[in-house]
Structure 1
């Protein structure tokens, strides 16, 4: 009977984590149902309903009965930034033609509800968080693959994305799919590295992680690729010490890990031998991505394109950031006093969120938004160094992508930043409050982790 109740508890924890995933990474699934299956093409209401469904899934049975302590300082900064954004939207709006009051208010309300529900969610979700993220990102990647295969307007060479609405020009948002792939790679890496992960789950993680890497290449998004490189560098810095290398090598030189590696390598070789076109496509994407970025470098240096007679030019996103940098330089050199209060809510789309928080909301807005990110970066460093639990480790490496994005794309008001920062507010810096069985001490919790994996097997059929 005890095992049965524990199984039901695991199912409930999985439900909560699926709800969290819908808020952190729901766009790929929502776009699939909305635009690929044509349930509500290009409908903002459908998107809002998808996020609302995630919030409903997050409501625990112990709602309001037990609250969990978040990171108070980060929570204060986040609520302060939301409050200041709402105040500026109504009383100091930098866009005289602004019409998205209702839309922005709804998303701010979602962020506040998300934070409140997180405070109600038990720490025990740590037990199932990584497996659920692996499955969730895998399903999202498969949905994207199905969309590409069935989309007559998509051709090899275009960025992997789902065409939005009734557009027939392959338009879409590849960044959300790159983000999903990034999350999948990080989660799979964590699950593979867990010492007691079953061989079947290691194989699943290897396949899903490889699939996510291929999707990341197909999306051709610089920010996600730079974030992944940064995450790998951080992992090597904190884990590639002589003692840890020796320990890793010893753990790999055992029958089961060797079998996994051999099966994985042979599977990849056989797959590409039978599907050479797939290899050619991926190779073409990699080469095309490198050439396009080299053109940006040549353009910045005022050089000619490699192997060509014409001058290299910046692509649209790089050109936009170059214009933003020029605007910021003008403000710094001639209108520095305007940075005290800022120019107003959404005054200018800089495509550099950290700088836009300063331009739009002045010193105080920059202090709030920058302070949140500074604290997330500080706790990420500490977590990467100590590896306290899989959920915290996931958030720490996930922040490498957020760190890149706050300097390369988007606006500080977007839920792309606000939902992850809310999640970090709940769990980062609070590891000392978690019960001992959720802390990564292999000698203490190895049996418990095996039980969780057995329950995951049973719950997934």
Structure 2
């Protein structure tokens, strides 16, 4: 009977985690159902309904009766920035004829509801979080592959994405699929390296991890690839000691490992000779990615494109960041006082969220938005080093993608930042409150702490 009850509880926790995945990473599947299966092409109402469905899945049976303690300082900074944004939207709006009040308020409402539900969600979801993320990202990747195969406008060499609103080829959002792939890589790595994982789950993680890496390459997004490189370097720094490296190298210089490496090299060479098209595809993606980034480097120095007679130009994203930095340098003169209050809500789009928070919302915007991200980065480094539990380790490496995007992509008011930040508000910096059976290491953990909301006494 106890095993049956535990099984039902596990299914309940899995339901909540699926809801969290829809909020954090639902766009790839939403685009698949909306555009590829033609359920509601171009419909924002469908997207809103799907996200609302994710919120409904998160509702626990203990709603309002058991509240779990989040990181209070991060919560204060996060709520303060959202309230500051709403205030600026109505009373210090820098966009003439601004019409997106309803849309932006709905976005902020979704963030606040998500954060509220997270405070109600039990810590026990930690034990099922990684398996659900592995499966969720795998299904999303399979949906993308099906969409690419059935899309007559997509050709090998283009960025992997789903065309939106019946638009031109490549008109989709590759960053959504890049984020999904990056999340999948992190979850699969945790599943593979966790000693408690059984062999079947490790095989699933290996297969899904390879697919995630392939999709990340196909999306050709700089932020995702850079975050993946950073995650690899930091993992090696925190968890691979010099003695282990030397031991691994010595173990390779033996007859059996040398034989296996030779066979592996011969196998790779034979594969690319037999399937030369695969080599050409891989070469095309790597070369086009390097050429696109080198074009930006040449443009920054005012040089000509490699092998051409015309001057290199920045792509739209890099051009936005260059304009933003130029704008900031011009402010460091007689108009520096304007940075105290900022220029107003959504005054300028820089593609650098930290810079935009400062310029548009002044010192308070930088203090609140920069402050919560600074705390998230601090706790991420701590969690990468200590590896306290599966969920916090996942969030720590996932935050590397947000760190890259803070300087390269998006706006500080976008939900693509605030949904992950809500997870970090709920789980980061409060690991000592989690019960011992949820941690990776034996420690002096207190019992699962939560606030019991008393019900009214009957008269």
SS of the aligned residue for 1:218 comes to helix
1:175 aligns with 2:175: yes
Question: Displacement, 1:154?
Answer: 1.2
Task: Give, in angstroms, the shift of residue 145 of structure 1.
Answer: 0.7
Shift of 1:382: 0.7
TM-score, length-normalised on structure 1? 0.89
Q: Is the 8 A contact 2:436 2:443 kept in 1?
A: no
Counterpart secondary structure, 2:302: coil
TM-aligned CA distance change 1:135 to 1:422, over 3 Å: same
More displaced stretch, 230-239 vs 113-122: 230-239
Cα drift, residue 419 of structure 1: 0.4
**CA distance change for structure 1 residues 442 and 247 in 2, over 3 Å: closer, same or farther?**
farther
In structure 2, the CA distance between the partners of 1:267 and 1:418, relative to structure 1 (3 Å rule), is: farther
Which residue is equivalent to 2:218?
218
Instruction: Check whether the contact 2:320–2:349 (CA below 8 A) recurs between aligned residues.
Output: no
Q: Max radius of gyration: which structure?
A: 2
Distance in 1 (alpha carbons) for counterparts of 2:396 and 2:19: 20
What's the secondary structure of 1:67's corresponding residue? strand
After TM superposition, give the deviation of residue 231 of structure 1 in Å. 1.1
Q: Contact between 2:436 and 2:442, CA under 8 Å: does it hold in 1? A: no
CA pair 192-270 structure 1, distance change in 2 beyond 3 A: farther
Cα shift readout 1:314-347 (whole Å, capped 9, x = no counterpart): 1221122111211121122341111111111111
Match of 1:229 in 2: 229
Aligned to 2:339: 339
Partner Cα separation in structure 2 for residue 190 and residue 249 of structure 1: 24
* Alignment partner, residue 44 of structure 1: 44
CA contact (8 A) 1:26 1:51 kept: yes
Q: Kindly tell me: are residues 249 and 128 of structure 1, through their superposed partners in 2, closer, same or farther at Cα, counting changes over 3 Å? A: farther
For the structure 1 residues 244 and 127, does the alpha-carbon distance in structure 2 shift closer, same or farther, using more than 3 Å as the test? Answer: farther
Instruction: Tell me the equivalent position of 1:130.
Output: 130
The gaps in structure 2 that reach 5 residues or longer are: 253-260, 445-459
CA distance in 1 between partners of 2:90 and 2:151 (Å): 42
User: Aligned residues, how many?
Assistant: 436
Give ranges in structure 1 of 5+ residues lacking alignment.
253-260, 445-461
The SS at the match of 2:332 is: helix
User: Which position in structure 2 is the counterpart of 1:385?
Assistant: 385
Question: Counterparts of 1:224-373 in structure 2 under 5 Å?
Answer: 224-242=224-242, 276-373=276-373
- 1: CA distance, partners of 2:305 / 2:278: 28
Question: Does structure 2 retain, via aligned residues, the 8 Å contact 1:134–1:184?
Answer: yes
Secondary structure of 2:333's match? helix
SS in 2 for 1:159: coil
Per-residue deviation, residues 375-432 of structure 1 (Å, max 9, x unmatched): 0011011111110001000000001000010111100000110000000000000110
- 2:440 is paired with a residue whose SS is coil
Task: Give the whole-Å Cα distance in 2 for the aligned partners of 1:275 and 1:391.
Answer: 40
Q: What's the offset of the Cα at 1:275?
A: 5.3
Tell me the distance in 2 between the aligned counterparts of 1:247 and 1:440.
Answer: 25
Say yes or no: does 1:55 pair with 2:55. Answer: yes
Q: Which moved more, 1:241-250 or 1:304-313?
A: 241-250
| Structure 1 residue 308: Cα displacement | 3.1
Change (3 A) 1:391 1:96: same
Check whether the contact 1:214–1:282 (CA below 8 A) recurs between aligned residues: no
Separation in structure 2 between the aligned mates of residue 415 and residue 16 of structure 1, nearest angstrom: 19
Question: In structure 2, how many angstroms separate the alpha carbons of the residues matched to 1:87 and 1:393?
Answer: 35
- What is the CA deviation profile of residues 193-237 of structure 1, one whole-angstrom value per residue up to 9, with x for unaligned ones? 101222222121111111111111111111111111111111111
Q: 1:190 to 1:273 in 2, by over 3 A?
A: farther
Distance 1:379 1:270, change over 3 A: farther
Cα distance, 1:302 vs structure 2: 2.2
TM-aligned CA deviation for residue 41 of structure 1: 0.9
1:267 positional shift: 10
8 Å CA contact 1:84–1:365 kept in 2: the answer is yes
| 1:49-93 deviations in Å (ceiling 9; x for gaps) | 111000000001111121100000000000000000011111111
Secondary structure (helix, strand or coil) at the match of 2:67 reads coil
Q: Contact 1:217–1:282 at 8 Å: present in 2 too?
A: no
Partner Cα separation in structure 2 for residue 270 and residue 71 of structure 1: 54
Distance 2:159 2:298 in 1: 23
- Is contact 1:42-1:164 (8 Å) kept? yes
Q: Deviations over 1:84-139 (max 9, x none)?
A: 00111111111012111111111100100000000010101110101110110011
Distance 1:188 1:246 in 2: 26
SS in 2 for 1:422: helix
TM-aligned CA distance change 1:208 to 1:442, over 3 Å: farther
Number of the residue aligned with 1:415: 415
* Distance in structure 2 (CA, Å) of the matches to 1:33 and 1:249: 48
How far is 1:272 from its partner? Answer: 6.5
The Cα offsets for residues 239-274 of structure 1, whole Å up to 9 and x where unpaired, read as: 11135658989999xxxxxxxx9xx99999998777
Which residue number in structure 1 is paired with residue 258 of structure 2? none
Whole-Å Cα distance in 1 between the matches of residues 77 and 152 of structure 2?
Answer: 46
Q: Is the 8 A contact 1:182 1:216 kept in 2?
A: yes
Taking structure 1 as reference, are residues 202 and 345 closer, same or farther at Cα in structure 2, changes over 3 Å only? same
* Residues 250 and 46 (structure 1), Cα distance of their counterparts in 2 relative to 1, 3 Å cut: farther
CA distance in structure 2 between the partners assigned to 1:418 and 1:82 by the alignment: 9
Q: Distance in 2 between matches of 1:132 and 1:83?
A: 33
C-alpha distance in structure 2 between counterparts of 1:13 and 1:270, whole Å: 47
Q: Residue 92 of structure 1 corresponds to which residue in structure 2?
A: 92
